Structure 1
Amino acid sequence: MSTETTARTSEADAAGTPSAHVTAALRDFLDTDPYADASGSGEVMRGVEPFTGQEVDRFARNTPDDIEAAYATARIAGEAWAAQSVEHRAKVLTRLHSALARNDDLLLDIIQYETGKARIHAYDEILDTFNVLRHYGVMAARYLRPERRRGAIPVLTRTEVTRTPLGVIGFITPWNYPLTLGATDLFAALTAGNAVVHKPDSTTTLTSVFMRRLAIAAGLPAEVWQLVPGPSVEVGPALMAGADGISFTGSTAAGRSIAAEAGQRLLPAALELGGKNPLIVAADADLEKAVEGAVRGSFSSAGQLCISIERIYVHEDLYETFCAHFAEAARAYRLSAEFEYGPDMGTLAGPKQLETITNHVEQARSSGATVLAGGHPVPDLGPYFYAPTVLTDVPPEAELRRKETFGPVVSVYSVPSDAAAIAAANDSDYGLSASVYSRSHGREIARQVEAGMVNVNEVYPASWGSIDAPAGGVKASGMGHRHGPEGLFQFMHSHTIAQQRLHPIAPAGPLDQAKFAKAMTGALQAMRSLRMK
Structure 2
Amino acid sequence: MTSTTPAGTGQQATSGTIGGVAGAPSASRAQELVSRAAGGKDSAPVQMTAPFTGEPIASLPQATDADVRAAFDDARAAQRKWAVTPAVERQQVLTRLMKLVLDRQQEGLDLVQVESGKSRLDAFDEIAATALASSYYGKHSAKLLGQEHASAPQKRCGADAAVPQVRTRGAGARTRGERLRCPVALRASFGRWRWRRPRCACSRRAWPSPATGAR
Provide the secondary structure at the position in 2 that maps to 1:84: coil
TM-score normalized with structure 1 length? 0.32
Following the alignment from structure 1 to structure 2, what is the Cα–Cα distance between the partners of residues 56 and 104? 19
Opposite residue 19 of structure 1, the aligned amino acid is: G
Following the alignment from structure 2 to structure 1, what is the Cα–Cα distance between the partners of residues 76 and 2? 45
Matches within 5 A, 1:204-353: none
Q: 1:54 aligns to what?
A: 55
Whether contact under 8 Å (1:144, 1:162) holds in the other structure is: no
Provide the secondary structure at the position in 2 that maps to 1:47: strand
Q: 2:72 aligns to what?
A: 71
Following the alignment from structure 1 to structure 2, what is the Cα–Cα distance between the partners of residues 185 and 34? 23
Q: 1:174 aligns to what?
A: 192
Q: 2:154 aligns to what?
A: none
Provide the secondary structure at the position in 2 that maps to 1:126: helix
Residue 98 in 1 paired to residue 99 in 2?
Answer: yes
Q: 1:84 aligns to what?
A: 85
Larger Cα Rg: Structure 1 or Structure 2?
A: 1
Provide the secondary structure at the position in 1 that maps to 2:48: strand
Following the alignment from structure 1 to structure 2, what is the Cα–Cα distance between the partners of residues 102 and 167? 31
Whether contact under 8 Å (1:94, 1:134) holds in the other structure is: yes
What fraction of aligned residue pairs are identical, expressed as a percent? 28
Matches within 5 A, 1:352-501: none
Q: 1:25 aligns to what?
A: 25
Report 1 or 2 for greater relative contact order, CA contacts < 8 Å, sequence distance ≥ 6: 2
Q: 1:154 aligns to what?
A: 173
Which residue among 9, 14, 17 is the counterpart of 2:13? Answer: 9
Opposite residue 200 of structure 2, the aligned amino acid is: T
Unaligned stretches of 5+ in structure 1? 196-533
Task: Give 1:150 deviation, angstroms.
Answer: 9.0
Whether contact under 8 Å (2:57, 2:115) holds in the other structure is: no
Aligned length: 189
Following the alignment from structure 1 to structure 2, what is the Cα–Cα distance between the partners of residues 24 and 111? 10
Change (3 A) 1:184 1:3: closer
Q: 1:144 aligns to what?
A: 145
Provide the secondary structure at the position in 1 that maps to 2:96: helix
Following the alignment from structure 1 to structure 2, what is the Cα–Cα distance between the partners of residues 18 and 101? 21
Task: Give 1:80 deviation, angstroms.
Answer: 0.8
Residue 186 in 1 paired to residue 211 in 2?
Answer: no
Opposite residue 20 of structure 2, the aligned amino acid is: A
Provide the secondary structure at the position in 1 that maps to 2:19: coil
Unaligned stretches of 5+ in structure 2? 149-165
Following the alignment from structure 1 to structure 2, what is the Cα–Cα distance between the partners of residues 145 and 72? 29
Provide the secondary structure at the position in 1 that maps to 2:112: helix
Provide the secondary structure at the position in 2 that maps to 1:107: helix
Whether contact under 8 Å (1:82, 1:194) holds in the other structure is: yes
Opposite residue 35 of structure 2, the aligned amino acid is: A
Change (3 A) 1:2 1:134: closer
Change (3 A) 1:94 1:56: closer
Following the alignment from structure 1 to structure 2, what is the Cα–Cα distance between the partners of residues 38 and 183? 18
Q: 1:38 aligns to what?
A: 37
Opposite residue 29 of structure 1, the aligned amino acid is: R
User: Deviations along 1:304-346, whole A, 9 cap, x unmatched?
Assistant: xxxxxxxxxxxxxxxxxxxxxxxxxxxxxxxxxxxxxxxxxxx
Task: Give 1:116 deviation, angstroms.
Answer: 1.0
User: Deviations along 1:335-365, whole A, 9 cap, x unmatched?
Assistant: xxxxxxxxxxxxxxxxxxxxxxxxxxxxxxx
Provide the secondary structure at the position in 2 that maps to 1:168: coil
Provide the secondary structure at the position in 2 that maps to 1:75: helix
Following the alignment from structure 1 to structure 2, what is the Cα–Cα distance between the partners of residues 193 and 3? 40
Whether contact under 8 Å (2:113, 2:120) holds in the other structure is: yes
Following the alignment from structure 2 to structure 1, what is the Cα–Cα distance between the partners of residues 172 and 26? 63
Following the alignment from structure 1 to structure 2, what is the Cα–Cα distance between the partners of residues 64 and 101? 35
Change (3 A) 1:136 1:75: same
Whether contact under 8 Å (2:109, 2:120) holds in the other structure is: yes
Whether contact under 8 Å (1:26, 1:110) holds in the other structure is: no
Task: Give 1:159 deviation, angstroms.
Answer: 1.0
Following the alignment from structure 2 to structure 1, what is the Cα–Cα distance between the partners of residues 142 and 85? 12
Whether contact under 8 Å (1:9, 1:20) holds in the other structure is: yes
Whether contact under 8 Å (1:8, 1:19) holds in the other structure is: no
Question: In proportion to residue count, which structure has more helix?
Answer: 2
Following the alignment from structure 1 to structure 2, what is the Cα–Cα distance between the partners of residues 26 and 180? 25
